Chain A
Amino acid sequence: AQKVTQAQTEISVVEKEDVTLDCVYETRDTTYYLFWYKQPPSGELVFLIRRNSFDEQNEISGRYSWNFQKSTSSFNFTITASQVVDSAVYFCALSDYSSASKIIFGSGTRLSIRP
C-alpha cells in the first residue's frame, strides 16, 4: 500500500528564516512519482514539483529546493528566506508510474510565516 507521512502538522517561522518541510513515503512500487503542492487559503492546489523515482538529483527553483533521498524514502522541501506569501498548507503526494493512477496525499503541513 502507498502512504505519505508529513509529521509536521504546523510550522511557524519569522519571515526570512529558512524552513524545511518533511515528507516520508511508503510504496512497494519500484517506479513512482513524488509531488509537492501548495494550497493557499483560496483552496486551489498549486503544483510545485514532480519527481520520478529514477531521478535522485536535488532540485532548486528560486527560493525552493527539494531533497529526494530514496534510501530513507524521504522527499523534503526547503524554503529559503521565507516570505509571508509562502504561508499556506503544503502537501506531499505520491503516485505510481501509470498515467491513469491516483495521487495519494499526505496530511499536509500548515506553514505560517510571521512578519
Chain B
Amino acid sequence: GAVVSQHPSWVICKSGTSVKIECRSLDFQATTMFWYRQFPKQSLMLMATSKEGSKATYEQGVEKDKFLINHASLTLSTLTVTSAHPEDSSFYICSARPRQGPTEAFFGQGTRLTVV
C-alpha cells in the first residue's frame, strides 16, 4: 500500500528553538496533506491542511505564525514549530491522500516532540 514517511520519529529540543518535521509520500503524489496533533490520551486534532503550491489552511485556534507549514512539492510537506515551548510537546502526525486512486488517507508514523 501507499507509504507516508515522517521524519524524525522523535525529537527533543530546548525551549525557544525551532523544530522542523518532514512528511513525504513515497510512492504517490499528494496535492493535499494534513497535520494533526495528539496530546497524551487524547484524540487527533487537525491543525492545518497543506496544499501544494499554496498557503496552508489552519484550523481555528492554531497559530499559523507558530506552526509554519510548507508544501513545496507533490510529495513533501514540512511543519516547523517555531520558538517551541514545553506546552508544544505533543505527538504530531501527518497524513496524505493520493491525488488519484484510493480515497483513504495514509498516515505517517508520527513525531514525538518533547520541549525541555
Residues of chain A whose beta carbon lies under 8 Å from any beta carbon of chain B: 33, 35, 37, 42-45, 47, 50, 91, 95, 97, 99-108, 110
A contacts with B: majority SS: loop
Structural contact, A100 and B32, CB atoms closer than 8 A: yes
Interface assignment of B107: CB less than 8 Å from any CB of chain A: yes
Cβ–Cβ < 8 Å partners of B26 in chain A: none
Cβ–Cβ < 8 Å partners of A95 in chain B: 105
Residues of chain B whose beta carbon lies under 8 Å from any beta carbon of chain A: 31-32, 34, 36, 41-46, 49, 51, 91, 93, 95, 97-99, 103-107, 109-110, 112
Among residues of A, the one whose C-beta sits closest to the C-beta of B59 is A102
- Shortest B108–chain A CB gap in Å is 8
Among residues of B, the one whose C-beta sits closest to the C-beta of A104 is B46
Structural contact, B107 and A107, CB atoms closer than 8 A: no
Given A33-B103, A91-B43, A99-B103, do A43 and B95 touch, yes or no (CB 8 Å)?
no
25 pairs from A and B in contact (CB 8 Å cutoff): A33-B103, A37-B107, A42-B109, A43-B110, A44-B107, A45-B44, A50-B103, A91-B43, A99-B32, A99-B98, A99-B103, A100-B31, A100-B97, A101-B97, A102-B34, A102-B49, A103-B46, A103-B95, A104-B46, A105-B44, A106-B43, A107-B42, A108-B42, A108-B43, A110-B41
Among residues of A, the one whose C-beta sits closest to the C-beta of B10 is A43
Structural contact, B107 and A45, CB atoms closer than 8 A: yes
Q: In whole angstroms, what is the CA distance A95 to B46 when docked?
A: 12
Contacting residue for A44 out of B44, B45, B110, CB 8 A = B110
- Shortest A83–chain B CB gap in Å is 23
Closest 5 CB pairs of A and B: A45-B107, A100-B32, A44-B109, A105-B44, A43-B110
Cβ–Cβ < 8 Å partners of B51 in chain A: 100
